[in-house]
Amino acid sequence: MKKITFLRHASITGNPGAEYENTSFDKLNDLATLKHDPGISSIDTRNKLLENNKIYNYQLLLHGPSKRAMQTARIISKIGDKRIKSVKNNNLREIRFTPKKLITQDEYIKNGMPILREKLFKSILSDRKNSESLTRIIKRVQKLEQQLGKYKELNIICITNGFYMRFLYLYFVKNKKEVNQFNMSIILKAPNFSNLSSFTINI
């Protein structure tokens, strides 16, 4: 049996909270569409990982393609008695979406992240072109599950992003593996994972 831990990357430099919070509408769009791909604070991240006992002798480290996921992985790989092998995996990338296609600047200023989450999840459920569809998200998680099953390592950590992590949780923990098993209530009730928070499964 394999132990798989999913961890959200560390906070971006200059923003100690979730990366989509407390930022302008234009910067929000640049961040979501990867026009802006900021890094993290190495020292702060290392200290928080050690303080919260987030290092458990992992044998393999997988990470998404964003700079913040890659840098979080690099820090984890250097903590402990020996260097952990680190591999980029595109099936751990964030959900694709463009905030400007989902909400207006006025809506964002007035309601903040809650309105963006609501509009994003509605778009995902309706398979609209304004975001990655639920069908594609599930297929991506299925590919990741197949990849995890092929690794010989028994203790693996996966570094990913916040919105995608919610769907990983629903798939692996709540066993929601078909499109017709999802609705807005189920998605909203899933944890809103903060930076460096995690969950672990056995496969």
> What is the third-level CATH fold of 3-202?
Rossmann fold (3.40.50)
Q: Mind listing the pLDDT tens digit for each residue in 124-134?
A: 999 777 899 99
Q: Mind listing the pLDDT tens digit for each residue in 191-203?
A: 999 888 999 999 9
Looking at per-residue confidence, does 126 or 27 come out higher? 126
What is the pTM for the complete model shown? 0.90
Q: What is the spatial distance between Cα 134 and Cα 83, in angstroms, rounded to a whole number?
A: 36
Comparing CA positions, the residue from 161, 183, 2 lying closest to residue 66 is 161
> Parallel, antiparallel, or unpaired for β 60-63 and 155-160?
parallel
Question: What integer is the mean pLDDT of 183-187?
Answer: 97
156 DSSP β-pair partners = 4, 60
* Tokens linked to 80: 């402990």
Domain boundaries, the chain: 3-202
Percent above pLDDT 70 for the chain: 90
pLDDT of residue 17: 45
pLDDT of residue 20: 59
Comparing CA positions, the residue from 150, 142, 95, 90 lying closest to residue 123 is 95
Q: Mind listing the pLDDT tens digit for each residue in 72-104?
A: 988 888 876 667 889 999 999 999 999 999 999
Cβ contacts of 32 within 8 Å, gap of 6 or more: 20, 94, 97, 98, 99
pLDDT band at 52 (very low <50, low <70, confident <90, very high): low
pLDDT band at 15 (very low <50, low <70, confident <90, very high): low
Cβ contacts of 14 within 8 Å, gap of 6 or more: 38
